[in-house]
Structure 1
Amino acid sequence: MKKVLFLVVVTFLCSACSSDDDALETGDYLIFGHYYGMCAGEDCVEIFKLTDTKLYEDTNDNYSLENLKFREMDQATFEKVKDLLTALPEELFTDDTTTFGCPDCADGGGLYIQRSVNGTVCTWNIDQIKENVPEYLHDFIDEVNEKIGLINNP
């Protein structure tokens, strides 16, 4: 009886998991974008995923930033933004803070940043109002917004 129960449990657990060999889930990447809660339209949530060779756009545009679903974008757009991979300030990796300021609290929007290197994933939410965040983030905020603008307005 114990063997039967064990097999049922193992079968259930295996069926609850999915094996997705999608290249989006492997390797190093940078997910970046902005979100605005008091907003209407397509531009309120713009999230992108950048790898060493490709750029993807999230098609869900979900304010919760969960269940991101990416589609590949063209190579010309990738070329415009690929340098963002190396633009993250080093201070981000030494600062224990994961939320800077109060992203989108005063309708100023927030930046969502996630970096994966060698399987280590770091995630940050950054207030777009510069007075609320450390000075070392100011240029980075501008650069992320510039890249989003380049993607959305080719």
Structure 2
Amino acid sequence: MKTYSFLFLFSFIFLGCSSEDETKLNNDDYLIFGHFYGFCVGENCIEIFKLTNNTLYEDSNDNYSINPLNFEPLESTKFELVKDLMGYFPEKLLTENEDIIGCPDCADGGGLYIEYSKNGIVKHWKIDQMKMNVPTYLHAFMDKLNEKIALINQ
């Protein structure tokens, strides 16, 4: 029995982990992203997506309150368009004290919804689309999100 325990421990320690694995999303890590516009008509008014390590999903509910979300997988070509999005996530956002940044959709400018899960820790934000109302460190990420949403919807 000790031999089996040793072999299991050995394989877990030396074969189960690598530095390459640490940079990838694990099964529980994801990024939910999308935009919402209150005074809008049509399918593109509320677009919410979930990105995991190997799949892109779209919320089929298109509910302005964001919840509940009901994700359905999209084709792999859509995933290929956005698979690098996690690399643009600004780590500084994780230190924000507020989960509402600016005044999302208050002046018909729309809002962005972000939910970030890493290692079991989940945080979410609603961010004003009007850049003058949000910190400048978010501007490039906002642009990338809007660019990716547009690519998915082509």
**TM bracket (short chain):** 0.7 to 0.9
**Amino acid aligned to 2:98:** T
Alignment of 1:35-54 (within 5 A): 35-54=36-55
**1:67 counterpart residue number:** 68
Alignment of 1:69-84 (within 5 A): 69-84=70-85
**Amino acid aligned to 1:124:** W
In 1, distance between residues paired with 2:90 and 2:71?
Answer: 25
**2:87 counterpart residue number:** 86
Percent of counterpart pairs with the same letter? 60
In 2, distance between residues paired with 1:94 and 1:149?
Answer: 28
* TM-score relative to the length of structure 2: 0.81
Structure 2: segments with no counterpart, 5+ residues = 1-26
**1:96 counterpart residue number:** 97
RMSD: 0.8
Q: Deviations over 1:49-100 (max 9, x none)?
A: 0001000000000001001001100111101101111211111012212111
Alignment of 1:22-41 (within 5 A): 27-41=28-42
Structure 1: segments with no counterpart, 5+ residues = 1-25
Alignment of 1:7-26 (within 5 A): none
**Amino acid aligned to 1:128:** Q
- What's the CA shift for 1:120? 0.6
The structure 1 segments of at least 4 consecutive aligned residues displaced by more than 3 Å after TM superposition are none
- What's the CA shift for 1:123? 0.2
In 2, distance between residues paired with 1:151 and 1:94?
Answer: 29
**Amino acid aligned to 1:109:** G
- What's the CA shift for 1:122? 0.4
**2:107 counterpart residue number:** 106
In 2, distance between residues paired with 1:48 and 1:90?
Answer: 20
Q: Deviations over 1:92-133 (max 9, x none)?
A: 012212111000000000000000111110001100000000
**1:20 counterpart residue number:** none
